[in-house]
Every structure is written in structure tokens, then in C-alpha cells.
Structure 1
Amino acid sequence: MQEAAALKLIGERTSRQRLERNLTQAELATNAGVSKRTIERLEAGESTQLSNFLRILRALDLLDGIEALLPELPPSPVDQLKLKGRQRQRASSDRRAESQPAPWTWKDEP
């Protein structure tokens, strides 16, 4: 899904949730602590700050849905053994790709 399509979908669903609760944009804005223009932009599929989006979700009693969006992933048993109880802090590069030699070229080729 493209970013613009995702923003449009979020806007449409936010609007439906607001209307289902019989709230005006101004009422939702007041409840969420954001401007009415922020609600208008979100519902139109435009970009908004993440903190404002979270405030709107909280005002609509939908903030618990974030857990379904980004669920906690338990470490795999192999990772648990490697890390010895610690949490992973960094991503690593693909070492197999680094160990392969570069393709041969003529010396005068760029």
C-alpha cells in the first residue's frame, strides 16, 4: 500500500469512528486537545504529527488498538541463547553479501 493510500484510509476510518460517536470535528478536536484543522487534515488523508494522531485515537477510545498494529515480538529461542538474556540493540549487516568479491571489470572501466 502506498503512503498516500494509507493516509486516505486512516482519514476515512477516523471520520467514520467520529461520526459513529456522533461527534463534530470541533468536539473531537477539543476532546483530543488538538486544533479543528488537525482533524480536518487527518480526515482528508493529509499528514499529521504522530502525537496528534495518538491524541485523537485516545479521544476516540481507540488507543488500545496500537497493540494490534505493532505487537510485541518475543525473541526467538536461538536469539535468546545468543544474547544470554540481554536485549538486542542494533541491526547487523548481511555478512554473506560483504564476503563475496566484487565482480571483475577491466581496469579502465568505471
Structure 2
Amino acid sequence: MLTDDVILGEIGERLAARRIDLQLTQAAVAEQAGIAKRTLERIEAGHSSQLSSLVRVLRVLDAMAGLETLVPEAGPRPMDLLQRKGKRRQRASGKRAGKTPAPAWNWGDET
């Protein structure tokens, strides 16, 4: 499992590679995104940043389409639609306390 720092670093590297492929400087991307050049430097270096800054950079780099694969839109399940008469859920109920998984079944003649 990758750490948060590794994932941020990978995102930063990919953004930098995309920017370079588009022949854009950090200064140009930062200006078009409406953020400080230092903010873009920090994002590309894999440091934490505001989500709004990332979205602005993705727009400038024409990479917003990738968000669909990152977090696909959740659609209602057919059974949920039937049970709720076409209404969508508004919140998650979480895991119910006290429910334990059923014990593993066996034939009874194992030793």
C-alpha cells in the first residue's frame, strides 16, 4: 500500500510531465491557474496543497477528464431505486454495530 507522500509525489510528477509535454513553464501555468508559482512548485514536488489549487492546475493542463476515472460518478443501484420508489439516498447509514459475521461452516467430521 502506498503512503500519502508517495501518492502526492506521483501526482506531482505526472502534472510536471504533462506541463512539460504542453511546452508550458511553471510561471505560465501558475498565472493561467490564478495561483502563485510557489504553489505550483509545491504541488509538482509532491507537497500538500489546497484541492482548489489542484483543480485550477488540472484545468490549465486540460486534464479534468481524468477526474471521471479518479472518482467515478456513483449511480443508484437498481434494487435501491425499487425500494425507494425512484428516490436517491441522501446519506450513508454506516456499519451496524453488533452484527457479527456468520462462523465458517464445516462438515463436522474434520479433525
- The aligned counterpart of 2:10 is 9
Query: Would you say how many aligned residue pairs link Structure 1 and Structure 2?
Result: 99
- The aligned counterpart of 2:108 is none
TM-score using structure 1 length: 0.82
Structure 2 runs not aligned, ≥5 long:
101-111
Give the residue type in structure 1 aligned to 2:43. Answer: L
Identity %: 48
Mapping 1:1-110, distance limit 5 Å = 1-95=2-96, 97-98=97-98
For the aligned residues, what is the CA RMSD?
1.4
TM-score using structure 2 length: 0.82
Residues 57-103 of structure 1 show CA distances to partners (whole Å, capped at 9, x for unaligned) of 000011121111111122111111122111111211333x4256xxx
Give the residue type in structure 1 aligned to 2:72. Answer: P
Call closer, same or farther: CA 1:99–1:39 in 2, change over 3 Å.
closer
State how far apart, in whole Å, the 2-side matches of 1:34 and 1:67 are.
24
Structure number with the higher helix fraction is 1
Structure 1 runs not aligned, ≥5 long:
101-110
Give the residue type in structure 2 aligned to 1:98. Answer: G
